[in-house]
Structure 1
Amino acid sequence: MDITSDIHSQHISRQFNQELDELKTHLMAMGGLVEKQVQDAVGALLDHDSSLAERVVANDRAVNDMQIKIDEECTQVLARRQPTASDLRLVLAVIRAASDLERIGDEASKIARNAIDLIEADNGNRGFVEVRMISEHVRRMVRDALTSFARLDTELALKLVHEDDEVDNEYRSAMRSLMTFMMEDARSISSVLSVMWILRALERIGDHANNLAEYVVYLVKGLDIRHTDPEDLDKDMLEGKS
């Protein structure tokens, strides 16, 4: 995915321009890998594919390596170029975004490990409907968060900030349903607990996607909205900020 809009000034140093472009390109590549990890982890569960789940777990190292590389590149830019204003915001946003993408990768690995346990136990598909529903929602959020970062699209980013509450509500509803099922059938406790851990991981992925969206607003507008009530955020609030 390419950055299709750029608020950053072009510098006399062609090398500096190239370094900033590479930061963004490498972040998008990491995002693409992480998005696939989430898709494969959930797919492994729903399709009872333990070999796919094992590949997700193994690929977590690649996600970690990409974060380390991005962090090193950002550190070098900070040390050599001492960027200011929007360039500094870009570097800081990339560092933060890479951290959240690595956390999403961790959550995908947790889903895959629990999927392996559930496939081996073969105790039915209780909770899979909820997993499918919430996973589709958070995967879309991750994809849209990456798109908003690539396009520097604050309108899409704000939409995602509002969506996080929807995921939280879906998660709480699913947990209540599974708790009721466990109370009715004690034999299901072990398998349902594994599904609950998967749902928790998906809810956390939604949180990290929300964080990515917040970084877009910070990058484009210079506003830190991390502790702002979503109901207080709208397009009018952001107008004139840069």
Structure 2
Amino acid sequence: MARETFQSELDGLISDVISLGRDVTGTLEKMVGAMDGCNAEVAASEVGVDSSYKARGQRIESECMILQLRQAPVARDLRLIYCAMNLTNHIVRSGTLAEHICQAITETADHDHDDDLEEAITEMARTARNIFRQGLDIFESRDIDRARDLQAADDKVDLLYSEALNLIANPPESGAGTPEWRMRAALMVHYLERIADHGVDIGGLTVFLITGERIQDAMEQYMNRDLQEDE
């Protein structure tokens, strides 16, 4: 009976984490929609969500700690709780970054923009959103084969990141946008690159949850370090 209760609590914990992830995905959707339609009102609707995401994240982390202390979970359960805590961290951080981007969109709505740079950032936003959403889907379905493919999608973000930085560093003679907007654009590019990284890391957590690969890698590195010190 105790085990059944514990399993029910674990299931509820993961459900709460996924629900938080879906809400952050919704913020990312609105972020992209605001960029696509140059709609500052849509972006403004997401300003302030960060505090809610952080509060929910703290509650989830507290529940993780309570489960560990009260139930003395076995190794498999500990791995799930560890992944839940790390997944929550990736989700909350992504929500924070998305809110920063929405705030930047809102505060520079009346500024002149560089069309080429704006197009690169918008495409980067779509790709980062897709990676985050796929990472969450992968964790929920435990599909480690798809997790290994996420890196290829992240490579596209890296290319767009380089393209955007080049456009920021080498503005056109005309139509470059206001200095304030270009400064915010540089921040948005960085935030989007981090959101994509969080999505990839969520996929990596799935691999660790199912296979424990990260532990094996850590042990191998530890053993190699000892051998090198002996030499």
Tell me, yes or no, whether TM beats 0.5.
Answer: yes
1:65 and 2:55 correspond? yes
CA shift, 1:174, in A, is 1.9
Distance 2:193 2:129 in 1: 11
> For residue 179 of structure 2, what is the amino acid of its counterpart?
I
- RMSD of the alignment, in Å? 2.1
Instruction: Give the conservation status (yes or no) of the 8 Å contact 1:45–1:116.
Output: no
> For residue 39 of structure 1, what is the amino acid of its counterpart?
E
| SS of alignment partner, residue 181 of structure 1 | coil
Distance 1:86 1:159 in 2: 25
1:110 and 2:100 correspond? yes
Number of the residue aligned with 2:143? 153
Q: 1:144 aligns with which of 134, 147, 159?
A: 134
Distance 2:177 2:30 in 1: 29
The correspondence of residues 217-236 of structure 1 with structure 2, limited to 5 A, is 217-224=207-214
CA shift, 1:51, in A, is 2.5
1:80 and 2:70 correspond? yes
The structure carrying a bigger helix percent of its residues is 2
Q: 1:123 to 1:176 in 2, by over 3 A?
A: closer
Q: 2:121 aligns with which of 128, 131, 152?
A: 131
Distance 2:170 2:208 in 1: 42
> For residue 157 of structure 2, what is the amino acid of its counterpart?
V
CA displacement, residues 198-236 of structure 1 (integer Å, 9 cap, x when unaligned): 1111111011111111111110001118x99xxxxxxxx
Instruction: Give the conservation status (yes or no) of the 8 Å contact 2:135–2:203.
Output: yes
| SS of alignment partner, residue 21 of structure 2 | helix
Distance 2:97 2:169 in 1: 22
| SS of alignment partner, residue 56 of structure 1 | coil
Unpaired runs of 5+ residues, structure 2, are: 219-231
Instruction: Give the conservation status (yes or no) of the 8 Å contact 1:42–1:112.
Output: no
Number of the residue aligned with 1:235? none
Number of the residue aligned with 1:45? 35
Q: Whose radius of gyration is greater, 1 or 2?
A: 2
What TM-score do the two structures reach when normalised by structure 2? 0.86
Q: 1:206 to 1:123 in 2, by over 3 A?
A: closer
Distance 1:66 1:163 in 2: 29
Instruction: Give the conservation status (yes or no) of the 8 Å contact 1:164–1:210.
Output: yes
Q: 2:110 aligns with which of 120, 125, 135?
A: 120
Unpaired runs of 5+ residues, structure 1, are: 1-10, 229-242
Distance 1:27 1:60 in 2: 15
Instruction: Give the conservation status (yes or no) of the 8 Å contact 1:157–1:213.
Output: yes
CA shift, 1:160, in A, is 0.9
Q: 1:169 to 1:124 in 2, by over 3 A?
A: closer
CA shift, 1:66, in A, is 1.6
The correspondence of residues 175-186 of structure 1 with structure 2, limited to 5 A, is 175-181=165-171, 184-185=173-174
What TM-score do the two structures reach when normalised by structure 1? 0.82
Q: 2:184 aligns with which of 194, 201, 208?
A: 194
Equivalences, count: 216
Q: 2:162 aligns with which of 162, 172, 176?
A: 172
1:30 and 2:54 correspond? no
Distance 1:51 1:189 in 2: 22
